[in-house]
Amino acid sequence: MSEARIGLVVVARSGLGVLHELTGVIAKHRGDILSVEIIEEKPPESRIYFEIDSPVEPQVLQADLEQLAIVRTVNIVKTLQKIFGKRVIIVGGGAQVGQVAIGAISEADRHNIRGEHISVDTIPLVGEQPLADAVRAVARLPRARALVLAGALMGGDIEKAVREVRAQGLLVISLNMAGSVPEAADLVVTDPVQAGVMAVMAVADTAKFSLDRLSRRVF
């Protein structure tokens, strides 16, 4: 039987060793855990979400997990990858973030109608350290494929953070702004709406667009 990607929401008793017991059952069925998140921790119970590539029927894994004394309920759900898909993250000043979001959401809608799954997340921030922290955190976000930096001035530790996340495979698009961040980004776009559009096009499988085919990187 081929592997199927499934989502499981497990409500279990809070406490030490809970994840150890749950992952032990998943490993016994040769399930490959792609992501795990504690959605809610309200003693005496925790709600935990797993995304798993499983070679067994989901109901088989569900039944075995329900046999554990620590488990209250196990529900099979559609994966976040299936529902929300790839994520484009927009970080920076409020006005610029809003304009980039207009382009990204409009373009994502066009591709999602054709069967793609792309979601857009935004966070307006100011200050070098909060922005640098946010850039580094994007690399830890599940399903994040592209980061758009929208602002008027970014440099210093933000530039270092951009180089770090690019080295981890994250696509970074910067508005054409003052500071050193544009020099560190994969692509520099002057118009914020266009920046949002190009970010979505770069990650969409339904778009015939690739940064590797561009002869220049500033627009």
CATH of the domain at 67: 3.30.70.260
Residue 73 sits in the same domain as residue 92: no
Residue 153 sits in the same domain as residue 117: yes
3-state DSSP call for residue 99?
helix
Structure tokens at 172: 């970074």
Residue 91 sits in the same domain as residue 76: no
Query: Could you tell me if residue 121 is inside a domain?
Result: yes
Query: Could you tell me if residue 218 is inside a domain?
Result: no
Residue 62 sits in the same domain as residue 111: no
What does the pLDDT read at residue 83?
86
The domain boundary, picked from 35, 60, 80, lies at 80
Write the single-letter amino acid at 18: V
The domain boundary, picked from 32, 61, 80, lies at 80
Residue 109 sits in the same domain as residue 14: no
Task: State pLDDT tens for residues 55-105.
Answer: 888 899 999 999 999 999 999 999 988 888 899 999 998 889 999 999 999
Closest CA to 192 of 174, 209, 214: 174
Residue 35 sits in the same domain as residue 92: no
Residue 118 sits in the same domain as residue 190: yes
- 119/143 Cα distance (integer angstroms): 10
The pTM assigned to this predicted structure is: 0.83
Task: State pLDDT tens for residues 15-69.
Answer: 888 999 999 999 999 999 998 998 888 888 899 999 999 888 889 999 999 999 9
The domain boundary, picked from 61, 80, 99, lies at 80
3-state DSSP call for residue 151?
coil
Write the single-letter amino acid at 95: A
Closest CA to 138 of 178, 89, 205: 89
- Beta strand spans in 126-211 (E): 144-150, 171-175, 187-189
Mean pLDDT of 139-163: 93
CATH of the domain at 185: 3.40.50.10550
Q: Which domain holds residue 70?
A: 4-80
Confidence label for 214 from pLDDT (cuts 50, 70 and 90):
low
Residue 49 sits in the same domain as residue 145: no
Query: Could you tell me if residue 219 is inside a domain?
Result: no
How are strands ordered across the β-sheet holding 32-42?
Answer: 32-42, 45-54, 4-13, 71-77
Residue 115 sits in the same domain as residue 208: yes
Provide the number of structural domains found in the chain: 2
3-state DSSP call for residue 89?
strand
pLDDT reading at 1 higher than 60? no
Query: Could you tell me if residue 59 is inside a domain?
Result: yes
Residue 90 sits in the same domain as residue 56: no
Residue 90 sits in the same domain as residue 12: no
**How far from the centroid of its chain's Cα atoms is residue 95's Cα?**
23
Residue 16 sits in the same domain as residue 69: yes
Q: Average model confidence (pLDDT) for the chain? A: 91
- Decide the pairing of beta strands 71-77 and 4-13: antiparallel
